[in-house]
Every structure is written in structure tokens, then in C-alpha cells.
Amino acid sequence: MAARTALITGISGQDGAYLAELLLAKGYRVHGLTRHVSGAGVARLPGAAWREAEIQGRLQLHLGDLLDGTSLTRLLEAVRPDEVYHLAAQSHVAVSFGVPEYTFDCNALGTLRLLEAIRGLGLIGHTRFYQASTSELFGAVTERPQRESTPFRPRSPYAISKLAAHWHAVNHREAYGLFACCGILFNHESPRRGEAFVSRKISLGLARIDAGLQDCLRLGNLEARRDWGHARDYVEAQWLMLQQPAPDDYVIATGEQYSVREFFQAAAEEAGFDLAWEGEGIDCVARATAVPSGSRARAGQVLLRIDPAHLRPSEVPDLCGDAGKARTQLGWQPRTDFRALVREMVAHDRAVVRGAG
Ligand code: NAP
Ligand code: F7E
């Protein structure tokens, strides 16, 4: 039987890298859409596995952009994929307040361009489509935990763009019969997470502080609570959705919730620091009362301060998901708990920073 073919948009991102590995291991031929500016991101795929698959012709990258419908149509026409995993996006919530039009163009219209290309090429009955929806759709939550039936109440240009994309995918399913699934994924992190997201900013920042390369971390809202999982576990759910007899939408989450402050505390402990918290609100600081042996940091050093520049015009304070439907229907459940996730990220970034030194 011929190998199944998948197209991943956003292959150079965190999820794209894990998903490409998963699909290659399952014997797929994998095609990836990459932008002209990609390159650093592509490095998130382990070099050896990446090159080996390329040599075998099982992995191919193609130039394209969500802002360029022609490139999307041309690529879909050439590849005629069995499965499309649409992961590409301007995915940073804080950035979306600064570039709201761009964010909407990329995330909402980009998704529509892709869906319409599938339809225009007559691929509706052939291609299955995964849409990267998000817990940010729930925004100012109306119930806890959030499940598939929880109303959407977005609170950022990012969330609004993703809401439009979500409904376009659902509409192509209902209006034209496309096998389209929306995964409503809660935050998922990993050592491959972009450095501007808070989890990675913390794990990398602590490694740099330990090495004497940075004085302290400057963060925004410490009290926001998130349901944090591991990206490696979450891409399995993306694949499982497209293997079902019928398309549907699923919440993917751990069901556990920790604040940004608790993430920092756990990461500091994993890095070998003891902490004392002082002050309130924007005067809050975390001070090291003990440092790991061999560290360039010193006891008494302030490791964390609040920087109002990182506060958002509107915040999503409280997310926690119920992935009961995915557990029952997909047989999916997270493998990595919060502490193991934090430990892996901290250990990875310590090794990276020490290696670089
Ligand atoms: P990410 O690391 O930010 O990766 C985004 C990817 O999109 C990168 O490969 C980027 O390419 C690509 N991209 C951005 N703009 C593009 C454009 N105009 N044309 C083509 N490609 C473009 O995101 P992620 O964390 O892997 O998340 C994957 C998807 O899931 C995103 O849609 C995100 O919004 C969504 N999501 C993420 C989470 C989470 O917690 N991680 C949760 C729910 C939903 P470059 O390398 O060229 O920048
Ligand atoms: O922020 C707070 C910030 O940027 C998490 C994206 O993948 O997940 C991600 O969106 C929390 C927020 O992720 C800093 O205010 C404090 O409350 O890591 P983040 P996010 O906004 O939750 C969802 C599910 C997605 O779909 C998105 O694509 O941390 N926070 N201080 C900070 N956040 C950042 N980035 N930087 C800080 O200094």
C-alpha cells in the first residue's frame, strides 16, 4: 500500500516539529510549508532525523505563505495530501495586540485560503483537515472546566482570528462535507517552545541566570492560570482526530491548572534555586535564598521582577480543560505531568546554555 501523504503548515514551529517526527515514524510522506524567513525554526527538528528523512525523500519542504493564496493552491495541487495539519499561525497572543490586522490576515484569512484551495481543487472527498484551534477561544470563561460545549468569549486579536478560522473549518465540514476536525488545545509546552512564550522564557532565563549571562527575569502577570501539557503528547491527539470514522471537534487538556507564579517556582526548584517571594503586585520579586552549586548566581540575588510592559491590554486569567470526550472517543490522555514537563524544559535549557558557554 502506498504511504499516506501529509501536509503540515507550520512545520518549523513547536507542534510542527513533533508532528513531523510522529508522522515520519508512522511511515507517512511528509510535506511542510515553510516561509521564506524560516530556517531558525526548522532547526527545532533534530538534525539527524530531519536529514535522513529528506535523503529518503519522505520529507519535503515547500516555499509558501498563508498570506499568499497562490502558493497554497499550487502546493495542494502538487501534493494532493491525504491529510492536512494546519498549524501555521501568528501564534503569540501579546504580539496580536500590536499587529491585529496582520494576525487576522494570517490566522483567519490564511485558514480560509487553505480551505478554499482544497475545495477549488476538488479535494473535499480526498483530504482530511486538522485545524489548530485553541483554549484562547474560551477567553473570559463562563464555566469551569471548559469543554467542547463551553461558549467562546475571545479576549485578544489572536483569539478572535482563531475563532473565525475555527468556524470556517466547521463551515467547510457542514456546508461542503470536508472531513475537518478542530482541536481545541490548551497550552502545551516543550524544549522546542518559542522563546517568547512564558514557559520557555522562564526555563531559558533561569539557565542564563545560573550561567551569569542574565541578571533577572522580567515577567508580566504572574497570577494567570493555565492548563499546561507537553506538545509531544498533544500532536498525538491531532493525528488521532483525523483517523476517526467521522470528523468532530475535541478539547485537549490535562485538567490540571497552575499559575505562571507556580510555573516559575517549580522551574526554579528544578534548577536548584531556593526562593523567597517579597512584595505585592508590580512590586513583587522572587529572591534566591540558595543557589545551585557551581552557579554564577548568588544568594540574595533577585531572580524575577514584574515588568508592566509584559502586561496585556486584556488577559485570560483562568483556563482549565476537560478532555473527557478525547479520552472516551480518541483513547487519548496526556502522558507527561506538569512537574515532568518543567523538569524536561529546565534540564534542556541548562544543557543548551552550558554547551553554548
Ligand atoms: P509556533 O511555534 O508559533 O509555530 C508557528 C508556525 O507557523 C511556524 O512554523 C511559523 O513559521 C508558521 N507561520 C507563521 N506565520 C506564517 C505565515 N504567514 N505563513 C506560513 N507559515 C507561517 O506555534 P505552535 O506552538 O507550534 O502552535 C501550532 C498551532 O497551534 C498554531 O496555530 C497555534 O496558534 C496553535 N495553538 C498552540 C497552542 C500552544 O500552546 N502551543 C495551543 C493552542 C493552539 P516560521 O518558522 O517561519 O515563523
Ligand atoms: O502566556 C503570562 C501571560 O504567551 C501565558 C499560545 O501558544 O497558548 C499560548 O498563549 C501566560 C499569559 O501563552 C509573561 O500574560 C506573564 O497569561 O506563554 P504565553 P498564552 O498567551 O497562554 C494558547 C493556548 C495559544 O493558543 C497561543 O498560541 O503568561 N505572562 N509574563 C507572560 N507571557 C509571556 N509571553 N511573556 C511574559 O513575560
The DSSP result for 208-255, as a single string, is HHHTTS-S-EEES-S--EE--EEHHHHHHHHHHHHTSSS---EEE--S
Distance separating alpha carbons of residues 4 and 110, to the nearest angstrom: 25
In ligand 1, which atom is closest to the CA atom of 86?
32
Number of the ligand closest to the Cα of 318: 2
User: Which residue's CA is the nearest one to ligand 2's atom 5?
Assistant: 198
Test site for ligand 1: of 12, 21, 63, 91, most ligand atoms within 8 A of the Cβ? 91
Single-letter amino acid, residue 50 = W
The residue whose CA is least distant from atom 2 of ligand 2 is 221
* pLDDT the model gives residue 356: 75
Q: Average pLDDT per run of 10 along the chain, which is 357 residues long?
A: 94 96 96 76 59 80 96 98 98 98 98 98 98 98 96 98 98 98 98 97 98 97 98 98 98 98 98 97 97 96 98 97 98 98 98 85
Predicted local confidence at residue 41, as pLDDT: 47
Cβ(199) – ligand 1 distance below 6 Å: no
Of these residues, 9, 28, 130, 136, which one is catalytic?
A: 136
**Is the CB–ligand 2 distance for residue 237 below 6 Å?**
no
Question: pTM for this structure?
Answer: 0.97
Tell me, using a 6 A CB cutoff, whether residue 207 lines ligand 2: no
Looking at ligand 1, which residue's alpha carbon is closest to its atom 10? 10
Q: Which ligand is nearest to the CA of 15?
A: 1
Rg of the Cα atoms in the chain: 21
150 as an active site residue: the answer is no
Residue 178's SS3 state is: coil
For ligand 2, is residue 90 a contact (CB within 6 Å)? no
Q: How far apart, in whole angstroms, are the C-alpha atoms of residue 269 and residue 105?
A: 41
3-state secondary structure of 298: coil
Is residue 149 packed enough to be buried (19+ CB in 10 Å), middle (13-18) or exposed (0-12)?
exposed
Closest CA to 207 of 36, 352, 59, 22: 352
| pLDDT value of position 1 | 73
**Closest among 21, 16, 48 to 32, alpha carbons compared:** 16
Rounded to the nearest angstrom, the distance between the alpha carbon of 285 and the centre of ligand 1 is 32
Check if 77 is active-site. Answer: no
Q: What share of the chain is helix, strand, coil (3-state, %, to 5)?
A: 45, 20, 40
At 93, which helix (H) or strand (E)?
A: helix 93-98
Q: Which residue minimizes the CA distance to atom 28 of ligand 2?
A: 91
Catalytic residue (one of 34, 111, 134, 336):
134
Give pLDDT, residue 47.
65
